[in-house]
Amino acid sequence: MADAASGRGHFVYPPRSAEDIFKDYRARRSAILRALTHEVEDFYAQCDPDKENLCLYGYANEAWEVALPAEEVPTELPEPALGINFARDGMNRRDWLALVAVHSDSWLLSVAFYYAARLNRNDRKRLFGMINELQTVFEVVSGARQQQSKERSSMDNGGRAKPVKIENNGKVTDEAYEDDSDHGETLCGTCGGIYNADEFWIGCDMCERWYHGKCVKITPAKAESIKHYKCPSCSSKRARQ
């Protein structure tokens, strides 16, 4: 039977360890962030107020979906906020997206701690600590609208990003390949984190999104041998074609 947790037919689990629950949380969060930032026009169009009650789902395969709520009662997992489409045209667009973001944060935590109910106290605390290291969806989305033009300009080189500062023997070197200000508002396409000059980033040549090297498992040394980088999402799309 397909598990609602995994995208209605992707794979079956539930995650049981704190680390696996955090991976599930991070993947769902990444999907929702993409819907509310990079793919916001598509998301906005799907939230037609003339349709029935709609919800925004983020799945463990990093896909997002605007869909009707689950029919079964009780549901397999906590459900997102119902009827997000009804308020779309009655609010300022930025305020509406921020409202969806707040409800999405609440849903992401409810799913994570639904899975975490069987963890012991220390593991739940560790899980929350990992989650709390990430920005909330609201924190990212509330500033993303102002950041888009700067983010696009930082991608104009159209290719693989060089590390602004590379750690060498555990220390950060003083050499900079680019001006830090060019990337100051860039968001990681995987975790949604804001650019940090002390970390290695890489840009996808296909979708032009930027990623922490650690999020896509690319090191500075490995990046030097890559002529055209494709992020995991673009690679999987090409494989399906």
Q: What is the pTM of this model?
A: 0.59
Residues of the chain with CATH 3.30.40.10: 186-240
- Topology annotation, domain 186-240: Herpes Virus-1 (3.30.40)
Alpha carbon of 225 to those of 144, 218, 219, 220: distances in Å? 32, 11, 10, 9
154 Rama class: left (phi>0) / alpha (psi -120 to 50) / beta: alpha
What distance in Å separates the CA atoms of residue 234 and residue 98, rounded to the nearest whole number?
Answer: 28
Q: How many helices (H) and strands (E) does the chain have?
A: 7, 6
Q: What tens-digit pLDDT sequence spans the chain (241 residues)?
A: 334 444 443 444 688 899 999 999 999 999 999 999 999 999 999 999 999 999 999 999 999 999 999 888 888 899 999 999 998 998 899 999 999 999 999 999 999 999 999 999 999 999 999 999 999 999 999 875 444 444 444 444 444 444 433 333 333 333 333 444 455 567 888 887 777 767 888 888 888 888 888 888 888 878 878 878 888 888 876 555 5
